[in-house]
Structure formats: structure tokens, C-alpha cells
Copies of this chain bind each other. A is one copy, B any other.
């Protein structure tokens, strides 16, 4: 666990987000994640994010605690002109800093309203009041300036909660400062994205193959919906050395479990599939029953999908399975719509109808109704057809409808990725 040793290099940083709309879950805290990601690139890693309600005494207590524990305290929200804006009153109280009217800020607020051609409400005059000892940070795109207090031990910055204004103040004032304070410390990350293998099997596999992270490198398993991302983090003072350490660790993992790695960084599975299909000039078509178009919509979410995705059908009714994908009546009668045989005919049928290289299909009981003892909710067949034949895979999911459909579309993509990866004709 390299992280623990390296932590001392960094400023101890906390982000505080103020607002009932955030604690109540009605607004996602995207401000905190933007700040964290941008600070990290500057070499500063936040240790903690606190989201609080619009509550002055609670904020006063939090600020007093944090000034003893952190070197950089970033507050967002609660800086507007209305009654539920609690940050400035809390600063006044926590730091015994009475408000002083700042003429420069007053002129800026006035000129802002002039610029956007709106009358300035009297309530906005108060935005020029700055707690004594605080430095106002200019906000060119809104009315509330940032407020900064620096002591020997810590820097505290309060910013508006409006994302664009917060970002403006961060980019103009805080990130340059953080870079200096971080003093050349670097934190580098790499993400290897896997599919078709579970978190624990992956961990066991790496251990069995003797892959261990050297000091200074940490490895995190980030599972999400049938896939696991492996995220490597390296911290250090020398960017080059850190990069070399990171590359070496990534290579070791790739050597051990490379067959499950479909992409890097933020590449999606459908993008990885699209890249291979384009490169190898493979075309595909889909015939979906229980996934209802979800597979096609994920494939066509990728720009340029028209190069390899010929067409899809959502063959929901039996009649449409016959008419649009050429499934035989006899097969439907003998095996039922949810069967390996129908999955095969759907895949082969759409392949023939469109002339694609690969046909891929789904049929199953997505639920919550429609299950029987022999064919319960979550029983799903996926099929694939190409020049060398037809295959099917049986899934037993047994989750709710959304997850049965989502997981099946994902498994279809994983299967397609493997098939395309092993397809002849790579001209790399």
C-alpha cells in the first residue's frame, strides 16, 4: 500500500459542500468530484469530503475542527444573497471576523449587473461585505466573490456553489496555488478495464501469478456491473520515476490477466468493441428479444458505429421473430421463444437478412412476470452466428428486470469483444 507512505507529501485537504439540496440527495455532489479530480492533477489529494445542511452552528464547529486538522479547506455553497446562505455568517462566527464593506468588490458586483444588463437588487449590496482578515477572490462570472483566509498552518477558501463560478475561482486562484504548495509532488494513475472475470477471481489470479505491487504503488479493484476496473496509483516526487514505476506495474498486470483487459482509462466496452470491428472490418447485426434494443443502443452510442453496425431488430413478439429475423414456426412451437434454438435462429436469421459477418441475439424472461418453473425469470439465452457456425450461452440471472436486461446486453458485448479480438485478419 504505497498510498499511506506517500500521503505525507501532500497537503491534508478537505472539501466541504454546503446545502440541504445536496444532503437530501436531490442534487448530486458534482462540485466535490470536480474539485477532487482537478486538485489531484495539481498534486493534491483530498482526504475527505463533507456534505452538510444549511446549518450555521454545525458549519462553525466543522470549520473550527478542520483548521486544526487540515492545511487546505475548500468550502462550496451557501455564499449567495438569500436567507438560506449560511457560509458567510458561519465564517464571521468561527473566526470572530466582523463584516467589512469592500469597495472594490462592490464595484465588481455593480459592473457585473451592468454587464448582464439587469438591475441590481438591494440584497446584492451585501455581497460586498467581507469578513475581516479575509481576501476576496474575484468572480468574473457571478456576484459572490470567493473568500480566502490564510494562516501559517492552513488556507481556507469559501466559494459559491454554482458550478461554473466555483470552477472559475478554482482555476483562477486555487489550482495555481495548490500546484505551488504541492511542491512538485506527483500522483499518477492508470486504469486497466477488465470484463468477463469477477473481482475475487481476478485478485486470486494476480496473487497466484506472483503479481505484487511494489512500494509506492497501490492497486484498487473497482467492480461495476459485470466488469472490474483495476486502478493503479503511484505517488512520488519525480514524475519520470513515478511514470516508469507505473508502467512497469501495469505491464505486470497485463502479462498476468491481459486476456480479460479490454481497454484502458475511460474507454468503454462498446468503444473497445467498435475499435476492433472497425480495424478488422467486421460487420455485425443484432436480433434482440428480452434486451429490447439495449444492445443496439449501446453499440450505436459510439461515434462511427455505422461502419460496422448494419442493423438490429427488436423481435419482441413471436410474429416479429418470424417475420423480421426468420425464426421458424416449428422451432418456436417445439422449443418455445425462450430457448437456445431460438437464440441460434435469431442470430443466424439477422446475419443472413443483413449480410453481416456476425449476428448476435438475446431471448429470455426479463421479468418480473412471465416466469415459469422450467423457464424462471432471469433465464436468458444469448446467441452468436458467423461463417463458422452458431453458439449459444445460457444465463441464469434472476435479478430485477432492469438488471437482467442490462447484464445480458453487457454479456453480449463481452462475448462480441472476445470473438472480435480472436477474429482473424488483424493488421496491427
B-chain residues with CB within 8 Å of residue A199 when the two chains form the complex: 80-82
Q: A200–B116 Cα gap in the complex (Å)?
A: 14
Q: Is there an interface contact between A84 and B310, defined as CB atoms closer than 8 Å?
A: no
Shortest Cβ distance from residue A274 to the other chain B in the assembled complex, whole angstroms: 12
Q: Which listed residue, B30, B124, B164, B353, touches A200 by the CB 8 Å rule?
A: B124
In the complex, residue of chain B having the shortest beta-carbon distance to the beta carbon of A160: B223
| Copies of this chain, tallied across the complex | 2
Contact A367 B303, CB 8 Å, known A121-B204, A162-B223, A313-B324: yes
A115 contacts the other chain (CB 8 A)? yes
Shortest Cβ distance from residue A160 to the other chain B in the assembled complex, whole angstroms: 10
Tell me the residues in window 205-229 of chain A with beta carbons closer than 8 Å to chain B beta carbons.
218-224
Q: Which among A81, A198, A312 has the greatest number of chain B C-beta atoms within 10 A? A: A312
B-chain residues with CB within 8 Å of residue A418 when the two chains form the complex: none
Q: A338–B393 Cα gap in the complex (Å)?
A: 38
Q: Which of A39-47, A149-157, A246-254, A328-336 contacts B (4 or more CB under 8 A)?
A: A39-47
Q: Is there an interface contact between B316 and A313, defined as CB atoms closer than 8 Å?
A: no
Tell me the residues in window 23-81 of chain A with beta carbons closer than 8 Å to chain B beta carbons.
23-30, 32-37, 40, 45-55, 58, 80-81
B-chain residues with CB within 8 Å of residue A324 when the two chains form the complex: 311, 313, 324, 353
Q: Is there an interface contact between B304 and A293, defined as CB atoms closer than 8 Å?
A: no
Contact A222 B306, CB 8 Å, known A52-B47, A354-B320: no
B-chain residues with CB within 8 Å of residue A368 when the two chains form the complex: 303
B-chain residues with CB within 8 Å of residue A53 when the two chains form the complex: 3, 45, 47-48
Q: A219–B323 Cα gap in the complex (Å)?
A: 50
Q: A4–B6 Cα gap in the complex (Å)?
A: 43
A295 contacts the other chain (CB 8 A)? yes
Q: Is there an interface contact between A311 and B320, defined as CB atoms closer than 8 Å?
A: yes
B-chain residues with CB within 8 Å of residue A366 when the two chains form the complex: 303
Q: Is there an interface contact between B312 and A82, defined as CB atoms closer than 8 Å?
A: no
A309 contacts the other chain (CB 8 A)? yes
A243 contacts the other chain (CB 8 A)? no
In the complex, residue of chain B having the shortest beta-carbon distance to the beta carbon of A304: B369
Q: Which listed residue, B46, B51, B203, B319, touches A48 by the CB 8 Å rule?
A: B51
Q: Is there an interface contact between A291 and B301, defined as CB atoms closer than 8 Å?
A: no
Q: Which among A24, A48, A162, A324 has the greatest number of chain B C-beta atoms within 10 A? A: A24
Contact A286 B310, CB 8 Å, known A30-B28, A58-B47, A297-B294: no
B-chain residues with CB within 8 Å of residue A285 when the two chains form the complex: 320
A103 contacts the other chain (CB 8 A)? no
Q: Is there an interface contact between A220 and B21, defined as CB atoms closer than 8 Å?
A: yes
What are 29 contact pairs spanning A and B, CB under 8 A? Answer: A23-B48, A24-B40, A28-B30, A45-B53, A47-B55, A48-B50, A49-B49, A49-B50, A51-B51, A54-B220, A84-B220, A117-B396, A118-B201, A121-B203, A123-B204, A162-B223, A291-B300, A293-B300, A293-B312, A294-B297, A296-B314, A300-B314, A301-B405, A303-B368, A304-B369, A310-B316, A311-B319, A312-B316, A324-B353
